[in-house]
Structure 1
Amino acid sequence: MSTKGKVIKCKAAIAWEADKPLCIEEVEVAPPKAHEVRIQIIATSICHTDANTIDPNFKEALFPVILGHESAGIVESIGPGVTNFKPGDKVIPFFTPQCKKCKFCLSPLTNICGKIRKFDTPTIDQELMEDKTSRFTCKGKPIYHFMGVSSFSQYTVVSDVNLAKIDDEANLERVCLIGCGFSSGYGAAINTAKVTPGSTCAVFGLGGVGLSAIIGCKIAGASKIIAIDINSEKFTKAKVLGATDCLNPRDLDKPIQEIIIELTNGGVDFAFDCAGGSDTMSAALDCTTVGWGSCTVVGVKAGDEGPNVSPVKLIMGRRINGTFFGGWKSVDSVPKLVADYKNKKFDLDILVTHTLPFDRINEAFDLMNQGKSIRTVLTF
């Protein structure tokens, strides 16, 4: 029986308030309106951004909310005006829209899109659909969307500019990582920093984003890739993916940046902060070489104000970059990234450490928060 035009009842994980486990609930998902697409989520993974949102230090979050933004699924139905998708298409939704019409989309200088309405807090901007209403209800109450995706629901509704059609043969339990973590880290190296052949790199934080940055550095031809994390158990994967050196700051008798400077004859060409936090950002900048060192900030920690940077460090030739979704223009790039995975240009399989049924979502958060997983994929 067709569900087109009808409300769908399904299960979703709702965050009713900060600092509490998610609750599996039955929700009602309304049909898509103009330029919207309703998707059946097949696989979704857990990202630190989801955890940051329910961190009590993150004051901007709105509750109740259906989190989740790293996923892949199948189109169930489309709203009026949708021309690029049809029911049955395999798709990846993402938090970085690409309308292809605004001044940002028309510029080759950025992957930001004007559909993001709050540039100071873009990751929570898309808490409602464009008409300022929600497509989710639970127990008679409207539920907020999250980052334009809300993949912790068996069905979700997204804007057609937050979605890409992908290869029909794609393994959704792997390419879901392209919806955020992999693209952010890999693109930070390839697009934002533009790592050069023979260069030296340092990657701080070896979660899914950091390991993906290492993949990018390796593919770009870096000769030395230093991986840094306080959890030494992550070093094995880092080395498999291309790290030449692994350092745990807790095992050292001097600041990590000093060790890196010694290892690289004055500092690395490129550093990536994939962990977030003032101390890590400062160390990443400090370990870059005078003259041309580049530090790219990828990770954000809830409630952190960032480092107090001395202008002298910048005057002496260092640069700080920020990256959003790895610099990829989403609608154009995501299908190409899926094709690159299919053609074995990079390995997503090694990033997935656990696969669990959706009902065990809180266990997946525990694994991530305890440093026992890289990416946990949840399936319905």
Structure 2
Amino acid sequence: MATVGKVIKCKAAIIWEVGKTPSIEEVEVAPPKSHEVRVKIVATGICRTDYHVLKGFFPKLDYPVIAGHEGAGIVESIGPGVTCVKPGDKVIPLCLPQCGECSCCRSPKDNCCLKTHFCERPQNLMPDQTSRFTCKGKRIHHLMWVSTFSEYTVMPDASIVKIDNNAPLDRVCLLGCGFPTGYGAAINTAEVAPGSSCAIFGLGGVGLSIIMGCKAAGASRIIGIDINKNKFAKAKELGATECLSPDDFKKPINEVLVEITGLGVDYTFEAIGLVETVTAALASSHMAHGVCVVVGEPPAGSHLSVDPVLLITGRKLLGCCMGGFRLKDAIPKLVSEYMEKKFNLDALRSHVLPFEKIGEGFELLCSGKSIRSVLLY
């Protein structure tokens, strides 16, 4: 291609500082170095984590930054040593890398690669601690090495996977984060049993994906919980058997759930990112064998205070990163299952907007009017 080995100028949405709406700018994207891949992004979703970046919830994050981590595109060029993809391949960037070399990647028990920002330094810069983005003479930082809010982006080969060439990129982009995070929380982390009861706190894209996972696992009672009743219809369409709003009750929602289920819910999931709802979800779970899975990401610096008696009787509190999936292994399979109509990924795509309307996409997210807005370049 004519662009191989050259700097590419393209449009990107830059968050210049905390609290500022992303602005569309022309950026320069450098060619990939050793074990790096440059990708033309075709479609990207707006995830609540991107909103958290906008609001400064992650204190280790450096600005200005190009956010976005739920995208799909086509490989433009590769650097020396890359063997997993080639130019022209359809790909999904991985916000959770899979290096294949660290102790977690080598363990059959783990999926949280030690190169992720949870374990090592923030993925604000490439592994060599330089950036591939510049704008107006300034260095622009990456987000989780993928930065899909740029028409072209560069990432390490540990953070990319090839997918079926027939996959519709404007739809499977949602497999980059929200869907596997929720679906896998039910299937992999909780291991929901057939005939069981489940309660999902938060009915956004991740919460709805948890509902689909619970249904696929054979749960007989799936309770959706949200203060926004406008989300109830979609939740029931995807498998919820009933929906509750905490605002409709004078007592705490965990007490309501214990009352209507007997001794509590078999499996509870927190998909909002608030320590208060984590506590409520844990207290809602069955006193002897309940499993509570923390899926949402609370703001940095949050601390969870738990009465140990809740755990002594047998409840389990579990963490969940990207649904327990090893993304390089899992995403091609999820793409195939989507194309075989094994789950309804399209139901999560509530709005489709041109990339230039990214601000409108954030407004829809903040107002609770969207499940997932997909931006097209």
TM-score (norm: length of structure 2): 0.98
- Structure 2 distance, partners of 1:345, 1:57, is 35
Report whether the alignment pairs 1:233 with 2:245.
no
Q: Is the 8 A contact 2:61 2:122 kept in 1?
A: no
The partner residue of 1:131 within 128, 133, 147 is 128
- Structure 1 distance, partners of 2:300, 2:82, is 38
Inter-CA distance 347–117: structure 2 relative to 1 (3 Å threshold): closer
Deviations 1:184-216 (CA, angstroms, capped at 9, x unpaired): 000000011110101100000000000000000
Q: Which residue of 2 aligns with 1:175?
A: 172
Q: Which residue of 1 aligns with 2:354?
A: 357
- Structure 1 distance, partners of 2:169, 2:159, is 17
Q: Which residue of 1 aligns with 2:60?
A: 60
Amino acid at match of 2:279: S
Q: Is the 8 A contact 2:61 2:124 kept in 1?
A: no
Deviations 1:27-64 (CA, angstroms, capped at 9, x unpaired): 00000000100000000010000111121454332100
Q: Which residue of 1 aligns with 2:147?
A: 150
Displacement of 1:112 after TM fit? 1.1
Partner of 2:134: helix, strand, or coil? strand
| Residues 145-294 of structure 1 aligned to structure 2 (within 5 Å) | 145-294=142-291
Q: Which residue of 2 aligns with 1:345?
A: 342
Q: Is the 8 A contact 1:52 1:301 kept in 2?
A: no
The partner residue of 1:372 within 363, 369, 373 is 369
Inter-CA distance 52–195: structure 2 relative to 1 (3 Å threshold): same
- Structure 2 distance, partners of 1:10, 1:161, is 24
Deviations 1:87-123 (CA, angstroms, capped at 9, x unpaired): 110000011111222211111111011222652xx7x
Inter-CA distance 117–224: structure 2 relative to 1 (3 Å threshold): closer
Partner of 1:54: helix, strand, or coil? helix
Q: Which residue of 2 aligns with 1:84?
A: 84
Report whether the alignment pairs 1:4 with 2:4.
yes
- Structure 1 distance, partners of 2:360, 2:156, is 30
Amino acid at match of 2:5: G
The gaps in structure 1 that reach 5 residues or longer are: none
Q: Is the 8 A contact 1:278 1:304 kept in 2?
A: no
The partner residue of 2:311 within 309, 314, 321 is 314
- Structure 1 distance, partners of 2:111, 2:45, is 23
Q: Is the 8 A contact 2:117 2:144 kept in 1?
A: no
Displacement of 1:303 after TM fit? 4.4
Amino acid at match of 2:192: V
TM-score (norm: length of structure 1): 0.97
Q: Which residue of 1 aligns with 2:294?
A: 297
Q: Is the 8 A contact 2:60 2:122 kept in 1?
A: no
Report whether the alignment pairs 1:330 with 2:327.
yes
- Structure 2 distance, partners of 1:158, 1:304, is 28
- Structure 2 distance, partners of 1:329, 1:155, is 25
Displacement of 1:339 after TM fit? 0.4
Displacement of 1:219 after TM fit? 0.1
Once the two structures are overlaid, the 10-residue window that deviates more, 98-107 or 76-85, is 98-107
Q: Is the 8 A contact 1:55 1:302 kept in 2?
A: no
Displacement of 1:304 after TM fit? 5.7
Deviations 1:279-301 (CA, angstroms, capped at 9, x unpaired): 11111000001111110001023
- Structure 1 distance, partners of 2:301, 2:253, is 20
- Structure 2 distance, partners of 1:117, 1:247, is 35
CA RMSD of aligned residues (A): 1.2
Displacement of 1:250 after TM fit? 0.9
Partner of 1:227: helix, strand, or coil? strand
Amino acid at match of 1:195: V
Amino acid at match of 1:276: G
- Structure 1 distance, partners of 2:14, 2:116, is 24
Q: Is the 8 A contact 2:21 2:54 kept in 1?
A: no
